[in-house]
Structure formats: C-alpha cells, structure tokens
Structure 1
Amino acid sequence: MKLLILLLAVSGLFGQSVAGTYLGQLDAGFAGKLRLGLELRQSSEGKLSGEIVSIDQGYANIPAASVQVEGKLLKISLPVIGASYEGSFSEDGKTITGTFTQGAALELVLKRVAELPRPARPQEPKPPFVYEVEEVSFTGGAPDVTLAATLTKPKGAGRFAAVVLVSGSGPQNRDEELAGHKPFWIWADALTRAGFTVLRYDDRGTAKSTGKFKGSTSNDFALDAAGAVTYLRTRKDIDATKIVVMGHSEGGLIAPIVAAADPKLAGIVLLAGTGVTGEKVLRRQLPDLARAAGLNEEMAQENAKKTLEKMQANLSSDLWLKHFWAYDPAPTLQKVKCPVLALNGSLDKQVNADENLTAIGAALREGGNKNVTIETLPKLNHLFQTAQTGSGQEYGKIEETLSPVAIETVQTWLKKTLSTK
C-alpha cells in the first residue's frame, strides 16, 4: 500500500505530473553561464527517469541513474559525471529551486518550458535535394561489424568519383554529430553538389552499425574505413580509380593508415589530422583548451597535469587511449604515395596547426611524396568553424557548422586531383 500511495503522490503533485521539460542557467565560474535542461519522464507504472541536457556544451545528454520525488523534494543522481541535483518544487509545480553539485555546489533554478531551445543551424541541408540519397550498409573490419551508412550521389548516369568520410574520436554517428552540429552532413551535401559521391557511416557499435566500439583502436577503425572503400569499388556507378578518404581529427590519423595499405587510393584529405604522437597532442591540447576557456596559466597547467596523470593511470585498461598515446603517425605518412591535402584551423586548440601540419609535411616529404598541399586556414577552429578563441565552449554557440572557405578549399583540391569539372 505504501508504494501505491507514493506513486499516486508523484503523479498527482500539484494537480499535474512532474514529467516534463525544465530549463535553467548555471553560473559555472570560468566556464561561464551554462544553460541546463532537465527532461523528466514517467512510465505507466509511475517510475521516473530523466536526463540533464547541457545546451551550451553541444547539447550533451547526461542520463540520470536515479530520479526520486518525495513530496516536493526532487533528487537526481548523475554518476556518469560525478554530479547530483537536489531541489524543491514550487506550489504550482512549475519551478524547481535547488543545488547542482559537481565538486562545488551551485544554485540552479529550473522552470518548466514547452521545449528546450534549439540552436540555429542555417547550413543544415533541407529537402528536396538535388542529388540522390541512398541508405546502404557494408562489411567493416571484423566479421561482426556491419556499418550502416548514407550514400549521396549526383543525379544522372555515369561513374562518379567518390569520397569516404571518416569521423574523429569517440563513438560518432554518420553525421559526426556534436555540439548541435552535423558537420559530415554538411560536407556530404557540399561535396555531392560539387559532383562527388559521398559515403558516410555510423562508427562500429554506434547508432545503426553493429560491432563493439569500446576496446577498438585507430587500427580497427582504419579497417572499417578500408571496408567503405572496398564497398564503393563494387558499385557500377563509382569510378574505382577515383576514391578519396577524408578524415577529421582522429579520422585524419586513420586516412593515412588506409592509404599506406592501399596504393590504388586516389588521395586523402586530412582535416585537423595529427602528425605527432597522441601523448604530444594531449600535452599541448589540454592547457591550450584550458587557456581558451579562461583559466590563467597556473590553473591551465595544473588542470592539464592532473588530467594527464589520470590518463596515464588508465593506459593499461583503455586500449584506445593506450594506442593513441603511443602511436606516431610519421612512419605511416612516409609510406603514403597518393596526393594529400592537409588542412587545419589557426585557432584549433585540440590539434595545434603549426605542430601537426609541420610534422605531417616533414613525414610526407621524407617518404618522397611530392603531391602534397598543406594549408592553415585563418580564424577557424577544430571543427572548421569561423571562431573567436577556438575554445570548445564556442562550438555549440556558433551558428556556422563549416566555414565556406574550408568547403571551397576541399572542393577545389578534389576537382583538381580527380580531374573533374
């Protein structure tokens, strides 16, 4: 009977269910003011569930391990980020006044809203499309890996040059969706309009693709990318001699692995790809990101030191990190003989342009590759957006998904390299 009374109390609070959408703003100090959304759901059995949505951090979705309502008191546990929220409903149930705790305790007032604000993304493609869109799948780099993908192809007969898009680190869907942006959708749209077939896919174990993501390394992902190339070569509407692999971030590390093993590849495009070991990338990345976020030099260095120590402690248990930390791209780049376009943004705080483009160029030249184009694009960040500081906190706030300069640079290189109009 106690359980029944409690469920009735939860669903009948203030004459309405507590389920719904709430919005508030957290004053996070050096990180600025962050909008947080709360989605509460209630099952037919009365069980509550939900998640916090960090709107200004790319709509990051943080699931709650538990949601409890006792009278007017709401308690939410968020162990995935080491946080919790505890607050009290107002009499009308439209406001929750409470404290968000993640190390420090910060006041957070949430108000019921019809829906969370969505960012303007003017570049996102909208139908009707001037090209064909086809849902496909192909075998990846392991027997249990089937990769679900979207192929966009210019209309008309003929055999088209093609581009395979390879995403950055972490489990990514075919649009490489992050911070409310879908950069691979924008790349696919722009390049297909320019006359190229584009194949983009969900990472293994992600979205509609099968297989296991956790425990896989860049070498495994390179086998998946090679599987995409193999698939394209089976299609009668693709010119098998004109296939390019284009990778972003970790994808820019993966593309050379594919090219070194496949001399028939027509070229690779490295978007913010790495040219030095992962350890060197991280030792520069962490303080750079902290400074861009507003920390002073002492705090930036201390924050980076602690994070690096945690990473080193996890090397034995995290196969991806262990491989990335030690992997030196130079020997692989020396084996790449196809044309290469390597781009980076001058404001990239994740993969420093000077350090990595210099190393990429040196390795390619040492291997005897003379068909190399390397360029730093001014005022662009890691996502190739026009930015102010390059901080990761800007990603979701910038309406632009991809700089037109970056798009034009890639289109021009592809047309020249693949001899298309």
Structure 2
Amino acid sequence: MNSFEDLIETAQNFIGLLLAGDFTSTASKFDDQMKIALNEAKLQETWINTIKEAGTLIQLNAPKTAEVESYRIVTIPCSFQRSIIEVQITFNKEGQISGLNFIPTNMEYHAPDYVEKSAFHEIDTTIGEGKWALPGTLTVPDGSGPFPGLVLVHGSGPNDRDETIGPNKIFKDIAWGLASKGIAVLRYDKRTFVHAKQLTPDLVDQMTAKEEVIDDALLAIDLMCKTEGIDPKRVFYLGHSLGATLAPRIAQQDNGLAGIIIMAGITRSIEETILDQFTYLYNLDGNMTEQQKAELDDLKEKVDKLKDPEFIENISRQDLPLAMPVDYWKDLHNHDTVAIVKTLSMPILVLQGGRDYQVLESEDFKGWKDALNHRENATLKVFPELNHLFIAGEGKSSPQEYMVEGHVEKEVINSLVEWIK
C-alpha cells in the first residue's frame, strides 16, 4: 500500500490537473468502478459547477488524512477567492482513486466593530439593463436625506459586489462602515462575475477595460445621481486596485462626480506590475525553484516584447503576460493614467497600504504623489501596517494573508468619512 506521503503528492498533482482543465489525465487516475461512475465528461461538469462561483485559487492548505478499512483518504482544503472547497480523494490499496468528493464551504461574514447595523438599510438594485444588466446593493443611512453617495468599483478579475477575497469582504466593510456614518454606498457584481457564460472567446478577445469596468461604472454613477434621497451634487467614486487605476479615466468621462478616491491604484504599466508581483512571490521564501526561474524568464521575455510597438501589432494572446487579450493591453497602453489625472480639477483622495506588494508605495503611490503634489484639493495618505486589502498585518505580505479573516481598518473608514463629508 502506498504511503500517505506518496498519496498526498498524488492528490496535489490531481488537483493541479483539475485546475489546468486536463480532465483526460485526471480521469485516468480512477479505478474501473470510478471510470464508470464519474466519466471524463461528468467529472468536467461537476468540477466546473463546483468552482464556477469560487473565484481565483489562492492556495492549497495542509492536507488531512484518514484510513477506513483498506482505503486511505486524503482531503486537501483549497482556498479560493470566495469559498474553501475541500477535495476529498479516496485511494484503494493499489493507489488508484476509488472515491472523489468536492465539499464547498462558504465563509461567514462577521461585521467589524465600527458598523452600526441599526443605522442603515439595504435595497436591491440593478445597474444597466438588457444583456449586461448587473445586480447591486444600495446601502442607505436611516433618517432624512439627501445623503452623499459613493459608488464602489472593484479590482481585476470576476469580483462580486462585496469584493470577496477569502473570508474578507472589503466592499461590504466600506459600505456598512460608511452607511453607519451617514453616507449612502452603491456596490454591484462585476460583468465578468455575473455574465461569465455570455463572454464567448470572441468577446473576451475584444474586451478592454471599457467593457470590463468603465461602462458599468458610469452606469452605476448615473444611477446613484438619479436615486431619490441621494444628493446628486455629492456623488463620489471609489476604485480599488484596477478600479483605482481607472478612476481618472472614469472621472474624465463623468464631470458630474464630486470627487474620486483611489485605493491602491497603479501608476506603472500593468506588465511591469505583473512582473514585479511574480518576482516578489517567487522570492518570498528565499528559495526560488528551477521551474519558477524558468517561468520568470518567460514572463520577462513577454514583458520586453510589449515594449516593442511593432511587436504588439502582430501578437497573439499566448505571447502576452497571463495570456490577456491583445486589445486589452493596447487599450491600457493608450490611456496614460498619470497624464489623465493631471487634467482633472475635482478633489482627489489617494490611499495606500504600506505593506501592499501588489501596488507599491515606492513606485505607484510615488507616481500619484508626483502628479498631484501641487494640488490643494488632493489628499494622499499611507497606512504603514496595511496590505492590498487595507487590512492590518505584520511582516511581508503574501496571498496566504488574504485567507485570514480581517476588516478594512477603522482608520481608513474614518479617513473616507472625513474626506467625503
């Protein structure tokens, strides 16, 4: 009988194949009975349905083992962006897989101390209409308005309205925290989250930041301005991560905004940011593997190619970092965030976590600072102990930290309230 050490390695490799979408190889690990009970097509359908709303994988957690009669069971909890899925694999004495279970665990939200639930109520709403309509939540203070309003816009990837990452819901923290202090907040599920099935390969290839973020953000701002009980002259925009990077571009298209808030927005190019992030992560434990070195070299080569204006005209997705669509890269290159922010006259608040490894104080925050230093109506603030999610921690930040329950720091909430009011 195989040792548990060997079975754990087999289980981890099996999950890797599932994540890569290689269902032929995964199904080949089954014993004869499992091949009948869960054929390749059924395995693919079950796995896709299990993870479709889970979001991005953050990490594989420590395995658990058990022995029942002649079978050995390895369970590996997989931490995804919005849930933990336990992959439970049963091995027979020959080391073949004779049982497989996917057990999702939704993570319960606990409100932070600064929230006063009795001070506000929530209303379901819809942003836009037709094919790309998005469900949203309007969090409204109790009492008589009109209230100042804030629209929240997410980072990259298929985010839900709470911008859920592990057990953390940073947009829910902000919405409930600000509504407790008399500010109405609108948040909504992102197009790539709600309408993933409608996004055909052709549509994905043509997608830019406009379709992914900007169009829906402008509709959300318009809805907020037209909502009864909201002061249309005091509607603000808050973007986090990609939403922060695009804030100047969105403000340029909606002159009615009272101001914009940039929380962890980059001022470097996205390809430089991706390269820096992978370099940081691969060096976290000080021991880069040969595979990681090769992946980093490949990424560097792709980033260098993007700097060649002729190359980008004749490029395929496979030649680009993270295989992102060509039109997406071109669109970002054609809109200089720093140049745009210099043209805006509205009040601007820039917030940065000092421990953020994704958006750097030394590079990106400095970029905002250099662009806005002369402006009396620009406020820039660094929170030394906070990470990319504006949650406090110690030491070097890592993706694993995002799986620890925390909340947007009270000092950040207070800064937002003070600036908006």
TM over 0.5: yes
Q: Distance in 2 between matches of 1:309 and 1:217?
A: 23
Equivalent residue, structure 2, for 1:391 = 398
Q: Distance in 2 between matches of 1:210 and 1:239?
A: 37
Give 1:281-296 correspondences, 5 Å limit.
Answer: 281-292=273-284, 294-296=286-288
Q: State the SS of the aligned residue for 2:413.
A: helix
Contact residue 181 and residue 417 of structure 2 kept, 8 A: yes
Contact residue 384 and residue 403 of structure 1 kept, 8 A: yes
Aligned residue-pair number: 348
CA distances 1:231-258 after superposition (whole Å, capped 9, x unpaired): 1121221100001100000000122112
Deviates more, 1:370-379 or 1:210-219: 210-219
Q: Distance in 2 between matches of 1:232 and 1:300?
A: 46
Q: Distance in 1 between matches of 2:191 and 2:156?
A: 12
CA distances 1:85-127 after superposition (whole Å, capped 9, x unpaired): xxxx96658743599xxxxxxxx98579996666675436999
Q: Distance in 2 between matches of 1:230 and 1:98?
A: 48
Equivalent residue, structure 2, for 1:123 = 111
Higher strand proportion, which one?
Answer: 1
Q: State the SS of the aligned residue for 1:200.
A: strand
Give 1:305-320 correspondences, 5 Å limit.
Answer: 305-309=297-301, 313-314=319-320, 317-320=325-328
Equivalent residue, structure 2, for 1:96 = 73
Q: Cα gap change, 1:290/1:120 in structure 2, threshold over 3 Å: closer, same or farther?
A: farther
In the TM superposition, what is the alpha-carbon distance from 1:294 to its structure 2 partner?
A: 4.5
Q: Distance in 1 between matches of 2:181 and 2:353?
A: 23
The counterpart of 2:210, out of the listed 219, 232, 237, is 219
Q: State the SS of the aligned residue for 1:186.
A: helix
> What are structure 1's unaligned runs of at least 5 residues?
1-24, 29-34, 37-50, 54-59, 82-88, 100-107, 416-421
CA distances 1:369-403 after superposition (whole Å, capped 9, x unpaired): 4211111111211111112311112211x221322
Equivalent residue, structure 1, for 2:347 = 339
Q: State the SS of the aligned residue for 1:395.
A: helix
CA distances 1:114-173 after superposition (whole Å, capped 9, x unpaired): 966666754369996531111111227xx7421211101011222110000000001111
Higher helix proportion, which one?
Answer: 2
Q: State the SS of the aligned residue for 2:363.
A: helix
Contact residue 8 and residue 74 of structure 2 kept, 8 A: no
In the TM superposition, what is the alpha-carbon distance from 1:270 to its structure 2 partner?
A: 0.7
Q: Cα gap change, 1:206/1:116 in structure 2, threshold over 3 Å: closer, same or farther?
A: closer
The counterpart of 1:191, out of the listed 172, 178, 184, is 178
1:131 partner amino acid: F
**Percent identical:** 25
Q: Cα gap change, 1:301/1:116 in structure 2, threshold over 3 Å: closer, same or farther?
A: same
CA distances 1:200-223 after superposition (whole Å, capped 9, x unpaired): 011114237997483432233222
Q: State the SS of the aligned residue for 2:168.
A: coil
Q: Cα gap change, 1:147/1:121 in structure 2, threshold over 3 Å: closer, same or farther?
A: closer
Give 1:19-168 correspondences, 5 Å limit.
Answer: 65=23, 68=27, 69-71=30-32, 92=69, 95-96=72-73, 110=89, 122-123=110-111, 130-139=119-128, 144-168=131-155
Equivalent residue, structure 1, for 2:235 = 243
Q: Distance in 1 between matches of 2:215 and 2:194?
A: 19
Contact residue 88 and residue 101 of structure 2 kept, 8 A: no
Q: Cα gap change, 1:185/1:260 in structure 2, threshold over 3 Å: closer, same or farther?
A: same
In the TM superposition, what is the alpha-carbon distance from 1:286 to its structure 2 partner?
A: 2.2
Deviates more, 1:89-98 or 1:154-163: 89-98
1:330 aligns with 2:338: yes
Q: Cα gap change, 1:70/1:115 in structure 2, threshold over 3 Å: closer, same or farther?
A: closer
In the TM superposition, what is the alpha-carbon distance from 1:262 to its structure 2 partner?
A: 2.3
Q: State the SS of the aligned residue for 1:270.
A: strand
Equivalent residue, structure 2, for 1:372 = 378
Q: Distance in 2 between matches of 1:123 and 1:180?
A: 11
TM-score normalised by L of structure 2: 0.69
Q: State the SS of the aligned residue for 1:148.
A: strand
Q: State the SS of the aligned residue for 2:127.
A: strand
TM-score normalised by L of structure 1: 0.69
Q: Distance in 1 between matches of 2:146 and 2:197?
A: 30
Q: Cα gap change, 1:154/1:292 in structure 2, threshold over 3 Å: closer, same or farther?
A: same
Deviates more, 1:261-270 or 1:115-124: 115-124
Equivalent residue, structure 1, for 2:252 = 260
Deviates more, 1:279-288 or 1:336-345: 279-288
1:191 partner amino acid: L
> What are structure 2's unaligned runs of at least 5 residues?
1-6, 52-56, 58-65, 77-86, 91-99, 307-318
Contact residue 162 and residue 198 of structure 1 kept, 8 A: yes
1:195 partner amino acid: G
Deviates more, 1:399-408 or 1:371-380: 399-408
1:382 partner amino acid: H
